[in-house]
Amino acid sequence: MRTLEQWFAHQAQVHPQTIELGLERSIHVLERLQWRPPSVPVITVAGTNGKGSVTAYCAAILTAAGYRVGTFSSPHLRDYRERIRVHDRLVTSDELVGAFERIEAARVAPPHAISLTFFEYNTLAAFLTFEAAKLDAWVLEVGMGGRLDAVNIVDATVAVVVSIGLDHQEFLGNTVAAIAQEKAGIFRKDRCAVLGSRVLPPALAESAMALGATPKRLGIEFDALRGSSDWLYRGNRWKLPGLPPPALAGDTQFANAATAIAALEELEARLPVSASAVAQGLRSVQLVGRFQVIQPGAGGPAWILDVAHNPDAARVLGQNLRAAPIAGKTFAVCGILADKDAAAIAAEVRDCFDAWWLATIEGERGTSAAVLARRIAEEISMPAATVDDVAAGCAAASAAAGPEDRIVVFGSFHIVGPALDWLESRRLLPPPGLPEYTGAPRRQ
């Protein structure tokens, strides 16, 4: 019997490509397992940015309403089990191993073996785990795109697209319109398509209507109206005044929270949710690495961790930093994957930082600090220090910072995850409290 770590190593070798979009391989494996789609409501969330937040809000509000919810997301920051949450806990190692064994037996069964990517194993394991747990609802976060993402095997009861920007162009297309078409692939005929941004390409709503879905647009069919200390959700059936600000930081979180509520509003007949449950979910929601502020106490700088890894996400990070000025300096610890537009990312935040430390990211999609420094040199107004890894960057920034300063770690899941490890090792962050820590490659 393979251990969980051995399963990760095996899965990394099965398919010749790290990323290959498509549904056929996973569908064939599920057919061999005689798997049936869920009978409970499913919310599927896609988007260039914001999909993790919307997924977290949906799950938190449904949980507050007393429902048992399965949540699937990717990638993970520190522990593979972060990807699959079974109601109020992470999936266990035993559950994962059991799911992988079933998937593998079906994958290699006659008449021929079927190749699966690392992400496809992950997605199928989530489906099998949720099926066994007998949940009240599933919330599924798309890994990449939508139309050809393995999550899209399941028909969404309500489909959400949070935002669209230029990212993963080698897989999704080189224009915003082309990417919109890919993300619209999660919409279904006669079902609601929630569009969670005030600025989305017309192709998205047009695609929804062409598929026979009903668009529900932020600023039109639903909205978030902010007051001085609270806010109002207005939808096509619900009007929820006096809502508390979302627990996740940043102005964009009001739109993300409203988008989640708009999706839940469409499930009212099957999963009723009270106004008090909405408020409780907004207060209790947690999501590591999304403008996460860590205050280590007297004598040390504040830390902000953000997985901003494309220009649109960096733009939001910059807006959040400018909206929260401090008396001291702001330092950047940054690492960006080789296939990202590093220059455009740096351009969005160049006025936010007083010093930069650039960290090397290892792996097939990684890039060295020296290469990253050359890529962003024209976009920042100062020389950037280069370090071997995130830990070295955190240590250097920490040594330079005073109690009135702050350190922002951003650029990739590959950066924020190791930064969390470093902060925990210095006792600046409580341990995650996850038994049987299971690290795994931070793949798609």
135 part of a folded domain: yes
**What's the alpha-carbon Rg for the chain, to the nearest Å?**
21
292 part of a folded domain: no
Nearest partner of 130 among 37, 46, 64, judged by Cα: 37
Q: Could you report the per-residue pLDDT of 117-137, keeping only the tens digit for each?
A: 999 999 999 999 999 999 999
Do 307 and 273 share a domain, yes or no? no
Cα–Cα separations (whole angstroms), residue 206 to 125, 148, 202, 211, 260:
34, 19, 6, 9, 22
Do 223 and 256 share a domain, yes or no? yes
pLDDT of the residue at 50: 92
Q: Could you report the per-residue pLDDT of 268-312, keeping only the tens digit for each?
A: 999 999 999 999 999 999 999 999 999 877 678 999 999 998 999
Which domain, by its residues, includes 386?
297-425
442 part of a folded domain: no
75 part of a folded domain: yes
Do 248 and 383 share a domain, yes or no? no
Q: Could you report the per-residue pLDDT of 215-253, keeping only the tens digit for each?
A: 999 999 999 999 999 999 999 999 999 999 999 988 999
250 part of a folded domain: yes
> Residue 261: is its pLDDT beyond 70?
yes
Token pair belonging to 148: 């050809």
What is residue 138's three-state secondary structure? strand
406 part of a folded domain: yes
109 part of a folded domain: yes
With a CB cutoff of 8 Å and minimum separation 6, the contacts of 44 are: 140, 142, 151, 152, 154, 156, 158, 159, 160, 186
Nearest partner of 376 among 404, 349, 410, judged by Cα: 349
> Residue 435: is its pLDDT beyond 70?
no
Do 224 and 79 share a domain, yes or no? yes
Answer with the residue of higher pLDDT: 49 or 28.
Answer: 28
pLDDT of the residue at 353: 97
Do 19 and 55 share a domain, yes or no? yes
Do 50 and 139 share a domain, yes or no? yes
Give the residue-averaged pLDDT of 178-203: 92
Q: Mean pLDDT, the chain, as a whole number? A: 92
Do 321 and 407 share a domain, yes or no? yes
Q: In the sheet where 385-387 sits, what is the strand order?
A: 292-294, 302-306, 406-410, 330-334, 355-359, 385-387
* Domains: count for the chain: 2
> Residue 433: is its pLDDT beyond 60?
no
pLDDT of the residue at 170: 66
Do 224 and 349 share a domain, yes or no? no
pTM, to two decimals? 0.91
pLDDT of the residue at 352: 96
How does strand 292-294 pair with strand 302-306?
antiparallel
Token pair belonging to 215: 């668009």
432 part of a folded domain: no
> Residue 354: is its pLDDT beyond 90?
yes
Residue 166's pLDDT band (cuts 50, 70, 90): low
Do 196 and 317 share a domain, yes or no? no
Q: Could you report the per-residue pLDDT of 58-101, keeping only the tens digit for each?
A: 999 999 999 999 999 999 999 999 999 999 899 999 999 999 99
Do 216 and 143 share a domain, yes or no? yes
- Domain holding 187: CATH number? 3.40.1190.10
